[in-house]
Chain A
Amino acid sequence: MRKICSQGITFLLLVLLLSLGACQEFIHNSFDTFTGKIVDVEGNPVADLELILTQDLDFGVAQPPVSKSIIYKIKTSNRGEFRMVVPSRMDSSFNTEYFLLLSAPAQFELEESGMSVLYRYFSFSTAERAADGVIDLGTLKIVRQ
């Protein structure tokens, strides 16, 4: 009887430890870096363009979508490039999706099923990071309004 009890307690402790590990939100000693380049419809780099990184986008009645909290607000370089760094989140976390917004009156032109579609935000997740934590968002085309 005692043996069964001690095995049960050991099992419960193991489950508790595993669940605590699974609940961990961030990956220690690891940063994700989002990089990319913004170009206009003619493919020219867009310098000094303000970008907003957020995880909290309000898709309500307001148009365009509004960020409820801002992680970073940065400007693109002379070559239209940007780089943003955040602590890495576990893939099991519910917060691995990020949104990129434009401060200027412009929209992202994205390819969907071979067609160009305009979006007021660009969404991405951290699922596919390189060994050094870089998530390359590639070249993003914008259309000014």
Chain B
Amino acid sequence: MIRRILVVVLILLWVSFSAFSQDMKKEGGPTKGQFTFAPGAELLYRSYEKGSFLGDTYAMGLGFRLKVDFEFSGYPGIGVYFGTQGSSIQSNRFLGGFFKEVRMPESGIYLFHQVPVFENLSLRGELGYGQLQVIHGLSPSRFILDYAHFSGGLVANYTLAKEVFGIFDLNLVFGGNYGFLNGNKIVINDLDRTYVQRATAVQGVFGIKVRYL
């Protein structure tokens, strides 16, 4: 039930962002339709909800994410990302103690829409889809679990410097998102299936972004 409410809230937020941005554009801002792309690097921390396999089995550490936004100013944009997060394996009843190390790379795509709030501050809504891999051990004794990751969130962009050398803006980025993970490819007995295949996650990010004009 809580999940459904959160999804509805995220969709409403997304829709209201579009309407809000059109009002802002009338008051001035970047030229509508101007193409920009913006590579960025972020530190991230994601925590999985306890009571799921991902939440109970792994102690999460700090991670990073590299991303690139593509946008025609004033319209929703699209971006791609790749990242990974450090973690360690806790005592559990699924992995048999076979592995000492684990890596969690993820790559994906997201849609976003950004609206200015103040002169140097803008807010954006993001909806993302990624593929998370949980890779235990080292080849040839690797054991991989694949999860699809659907997420939505809010990110604030603070412009530190405008039109540096006349070609880019330097932004500070911070925000958070909420995500659902689905590992429906994972084969396991009926009783443990939901516990292993499903999880929710909260994620915080902090980083910089260079927006080329």
Q: Which residues of A contact B (CB under 8 A)?
A: 20, 23-26, 28-31, 33, 35, 53, 71-72, 74, 83-88, 131-134
Alpha-carbon separation in the docked complex, A143 to B57 (Å): 36
CB pairs A–B below 8 angstroms (10 shown)? A28-B144, A29-B145, A29-B185, A31-B196, A33-B192, A86-B95, A86-B96, A132-B187, A132-B188, A134-B189
Alpha-carbon separation in the docked complex, A35 to B189 (Å): 10
> Nearest residue in A to B143 (C-beta to C-beta)?
A26
Alpha-carbon separation in the docked complex, A88 to B145 (Å): 12
Task: Say whether B140 faces chain A, with CB atoms less than 8 Å apart.
Answer: yes
The winner among A24, A74, A131 for most chain B CB atoms within 10 A is A24
Residues of A within 8 A of B137 (CB): 26
Task: Say whether B183 faces chain A, with CB atoms less than 8 Å apart.
Answer: yes
Please judge, given known A-B contacts A26-B142, A72-B93, whether A87 and B98 are in contact too, CB under 8 Å: yes
CB of A25 within 8 A of CB of B187, answer no
CB distance from A19 to the nearest CB of B (A): 10
CB of B141 within 8 A of CB of A85, answer no
Q: Which residues of B contact A (CB under 8 A)?
A: 93-98, 136-137, 139-146, 183, 185-192, 196
Alpha-carbon separation in the docked complex, A87 to B97 (Å): 10
Please judge, given known A-B contacts A25-B141, A29-B144, A72-B96, whether A88 and B192 are in contact too, CB under 8 Å: no
CB distance from A8 to the nearest CB of B (A): 25
CB of A24 within 8 A of CB of B96, answer no
> Nearest residue in A to B96 (C-beta to C-beta)?
A86
Please judge, given known A-B contacts A132-B189, A134-B189, whether A31 and B144 are in contact too, CB under 8 Å: no
Q: Which of B94, B97, B136, B185 contacts A85 (CB 8 A)?
A: B94
> Nearest residue in B to A130 (C-beta to C-beta)?
B189
Supplied contacts A28-B142, A85-B189, 10 more A-B pairs, CB within 8 Å: A20-B140, A24-B139, A24-B142, A29-B144, A29-B145, A31-B192, A35-B189, A85-B93, A131-B187, A132-B190
